[in-house]
Structure 1
Amino acid sequence: MSQMHVMGGAMTRFGRHQGVMAPELAQQAILAAVADAGVELKDIQAIYCANVLGGMILGQVILRDLNLAGIPVYNVENACASGATAVHLARHALLAGQYQRVLVFGIEQLTQLGGGTIPLQRNDEKTDLYARAGMVLPAVYAMRATRFIHERGASPADLAAIAVKNRYHGSLNEYAQQRTEVTLEEVLGSRMIADPLTLLQCCPSQVDGAAALVLGDKPGPHARDVRVLASSVVSGLREGARDDILDAEITARAARQAYEQSGVDPRDVAVVELHDAFTIAELIYYEALGLAPHGDAVSLLHSGATRLGGRVPVNPSGGLLAKGHPLGATGVAQMVELMWQLQGRAGTRQANNQPRIGVAQCTGGGIAGVDHAASSVHVLGV
């Protein structure tokens, strides 16, 4: 097998699903994805379940009621990059000819945690310097934002413009948790979380959701056949005292690998779903993904190129800022969105540049002394 096809996909609405347990939520996405792929559950040969905080053997628990007991189930945890990592592992097995058709799904119920920020390293306060100091991700990104403003001659309004764009996109997405447009003034005037990041510049922390993909060695039933042209997952490198916190080295490295695998030039990319957990992240990733030269991220944003109707819409789903970020589901949901975009099935948020190449990027976790624990980049094409 030389190519992996995205045969079909689906996701649930992201948001609060009171009274709905994780198995039921995941099963909704699984059954819809299988139907979208034009296959039956009995045709699935292996399952990859991505989840961060749901506990042991969650995949088997979810699949028990679907009568899929007996086939291989792989439970994957790689922080926020769990879903993308599950796709990466599934691709290895498919290309090796181990399976011909697999299901990858991600599920998370963050509303069960009771609110608040998620620690960098849960239950690791003794061995991780950042965790012991009480460091949380909003503070990490706030430091990057402060440095960005200082070095690039940017302003807090430049950061807030990302939230305005993505929340507009989210207002068009029936699967998004936040579906209300906001103004620049509303973003800047919302409650300060970690200076200069205000509330509306941070992804919602109370969100449930699931997403699923059927991947195989043959195209699905849709007119436009979406293939995974490249898949890269890398870990962070140990940082030195002089390392630049704005270069997103781990994502740039993953992107270089993915572009080399696929033979795609960044200039060919027509639609992107990236990890905008905080507004500053999107600006940094413009450069790491090669969408903008070093120092030109703000110019790219204000040119309108990354907005729906622009040359390369970024986060047409609304991104994590509007759609929400149920950790294990995010990486899979990004690829579901790209599948819809490349097939022209995205409805009112459809990129009008007839996209043929899409890129999904997702980072995960934080460890003292490294950029991120993991980063993934996938290139999809028709």
Structure 2
Amino acid sequence: MRETWVVAAASNRYGKMKESGREAATRVAWEAIERSGLAPKDIGYTFVSNAFGVAERQAHVGPLINTSLGIPDVPSCTIESACSSSSAGLHEAFVHVAGGFADAALVVGVEKLSHLDTLASTSYFAMGADYAFETKNGATFPGLYATLADAYQHAFRTQPEMFGSIAIKNHANAALNPHAQFRKPISLDTYLNSPIIASPLRLYDCCPFSDGAAAVVVAAKEFVRTPKTEPLVIRASARSGSIGDMHDRPDLLGLPATRTAAEKAFRQAKMEPKDIDFLEVHDCFTIAEALALEDLGFYPRGSAARESLEGSTALHGRLPVNPSGGLKAKGHPVSATGAGQVVEIFEQFNGLAGARAVPKADTALAHNVGATGSSCSVHIFSRR
């Protein structure tokens, strides 16, 4: 397999977009290609993620984006894997480029739901769960993740302040990120006084609905002889799945797909958790960040929330986690989320992170989950 790089990445600011999803996706794709130093004609394949495009009465958006880029003859494919859609797209781009099927590929993730009311938006989000056994019977994602949080609290005797520290840390990081939906720090009092959404999860334990778009350009090392940017070497690209329904899982103290994908990724990269300088993990709820850190192998079971409270995962802590602000505060535009994590790593490695820069970072890991962990992608990156 050929050494494969991320040569550019770009994102808009998450939140509410005035433009259509198609327009936003095309704009960030142009920006990423321009950053890369490549031309649109160099793209051999486009992978687009837009899980809820039907909310804008638009499916099959890939050819429309390619046409706007001036490459209508380039093949495109829509990749849907719930919240892990664009990281699944990145995996496919890696496979195509590393395997020699294309010299360069474009990954685009986009979502727009802000023109809908809360009930409609929630209904679209819920499509990632099992309708027959979960959604139809009243389950929601806050409720499902609250079940995980409740199991964790009972098993490890965690306190609300521990989950609160995760939210506080991610809001502090997002305040430094121009791409973030929420750019205002929160206090522990603000967290503790926020309403219960699904016990024990409070409002500030939950990520927001977000519009957003992100794009990543992947290319073979041999094709990019003089990179315009500091590329990210893709050391590993791994995916895994697990039982979709939570009621069928034997264990509620972790997400099996994360554990399996992490094992594959570290084996592929010939690395260990101790070799990673910072992480972008899927923190759709604060409990999700704690579980991710344990399932990925960075902390023993039951310890990640305590480590957060002690400052270990802060921007200048021992292991910075979600310097972007994460899904919790940067935002969660579903199909753009995985690509957006790569944007953060690209900006960190290229000196574009400003005040949220992670000191002396040479390696990074991105972790992106679909639904309650029924699908998962783990990517490991390094400098050249």
Is the TM value for this pair above 0.5? yes
Give the aligned partner of residue 188 of structure 1.
192
Map 1:210-221 onto structure 2 (within 5 A): 210-218=213-221, 219=224, 221=227
Q: Which moved more, 1:134-143 or 1:36-45?
A: 36-45
Give the aligned partner of residue 370 of structure 2.
364
In the alignment, structure 2 segments of 5+ residues that lack a partner are none
Give the aligned partner of residue 21 of structure 2.
22
Q: 1:71 aligns with which of 67, 74, 78?
A: 74
**Whole-angstrom CA distance in 2 between matches of 1:160 and 1:251:** 23
Kept after mapping to 1: 8 A contact 2:36/2:229: no
Is the counterpart of residue 377 in structure 1 residue 384 in structure 2?
A: no
Relative distance call for 1:74 and 1:358 in structure 2 (3 A) is same
**Whole-angstrom CA distance in 1 between matches of 2:185 and 2:228:** 32
Give the aligned partner of residue 122 of structure 1.
127
1:98 Cα shift?
0.7
1:222 Cα shift?
4.6
**Whole-angstrom CA distance in 2 between matches of 1:226 and 1:65:** 27
Give the aligned partner of residue 151 of structure 1.
155
Secondary structure (helix, strand or coil) at the match of 2:32 reads helix
**Whole-angstrom CA distance in 1 between matches of 2:278 and 2:123:** 29
Give the aligned partner of residue 12 of structure 2.
12
**Whole-angstrom CA distance in 2 between matches of 1:194 and 1:379:** 33
Give the aligned partner of residue 276 of structure 2.
269
Kept after mapping to 1: 8 A contact 2:7/2:230: no
Kept after mapping to 1: 8 A contact 2:370/2:376: yes
Q: What amino acid does structure 1 have at the position aligned with 2:44? A: Q
Kept after mapping to 2: 8 A contact 1:226/1:343: no
Give the aligned partner of residue 179 of structure 1.
183
1:298 Cα shift?
2.5
Is the counterpart of residue 309 in structure 1 residue 310 in structure 2?
A: no
1:260 Cα shift?
0.5
Secondary structure (helix, strand or coil) at the match of 2:115 reads helix
1:240 Cα shift?
7.5
Is the counterpart of residue 96 in structure 1 residue 99 in structure 2?
A: yes
> What do residues 156-197 of structure 1 show as CA deviations (whole Å, max 9, x unaligned)?
111111110000000000000000100011011112211111
Q: What amino acid does structure 1 have at the position aligned with 2:136? A: R
Give the aligned partner of residue 136 of structure 2.
132
1:67 Cα shift?
2.0
Give the aligned partner of residue 35 of structure 1.
34
Q: TM-score, normalised by structure 1?
A: 0.93
**Whole-angstrom CA distance in 2 between matches of 1:305 and 1:376:** 24
Secondary structure (helix, strand or coil) at the match of 2:127 reads coil
**Whole-angstrom CA distance in 2 between matches of 1:356 and 1:23:** 34
Is the counterpart of residue 299 in structure 1 residue 288 in structure 2?
A: no
What is the root-mean-square deviation in Å for CA atoms of aligned residues? Answer: 1.9
Give the aligned partner of residue 46 of structure 2.
47
**Whole-angstrom CA distance in 2 between matches of 1:123 and 1:3:** 33
Percentage of matched positions with identical amino acids: 34
Relative distance call for 1:74 and 1:166 in structure 2 (3 A) is same
**Whole-angstrom CA distance in 2 between matches of 1:177 and 1:63:** 28
1:264 Cα shift?
1.1
Kept after mapping to 2: 8 A contact 1:119/1:135: no
Kept after mapping to 1: 8 A contact 2:44/2:104: yes
Relative distance call for 1:350 and 1:104 in structure 2 (3 A) is same
Give the aligned partner of residue 287 of structure 2.
280
**Whole-angstrom CA distance in 2 between matches of 1:73 and 1:66:** 12
**Whole-angstrom CA distance in 2 between matches of 1:9 and 1:124:** 30
**Whole-angstrom CA distance in 1 between matches of 2:149 and 2:64:** 41
> What do residues 197-239 of structure 1 show as CA deviations (whole Å, max 9, x unaligned)?
111111111x211001110012563563311110111111377
> What do residues 4-37 of structure 1 show as CA deviations (whole Å, max 9, x unaligned)?
111111111111112x111211112111101110
> What do residues 65-108 of structure 1 show as CA deviations (whole Å, max 9, x unaligned)?
22221111111111001000000011111111010011111000
**Whole-angstrom CA distance in 2 between matches of 1:135 and 1:105:** 30
Kept after mapping to 2: 8 A contact 1:163/1:201: yes
**Whole-angstrom CA distance in 1 between matches of 2:343 and 2:28:** 11
Aligned residues: 373
**Whole-angstrom CA distance in 2 between matches of 1:133 and 1:336:** 37
Q: What amino acid does structure 2 have at the position aligned with 1:57? A: H
1:241 Cα shift?
6.1
Q: What amino acid does structure 1 have at the position aligned with 2:99? A: A
Q: TM-score, normalised by structure 2?
A: 0.92
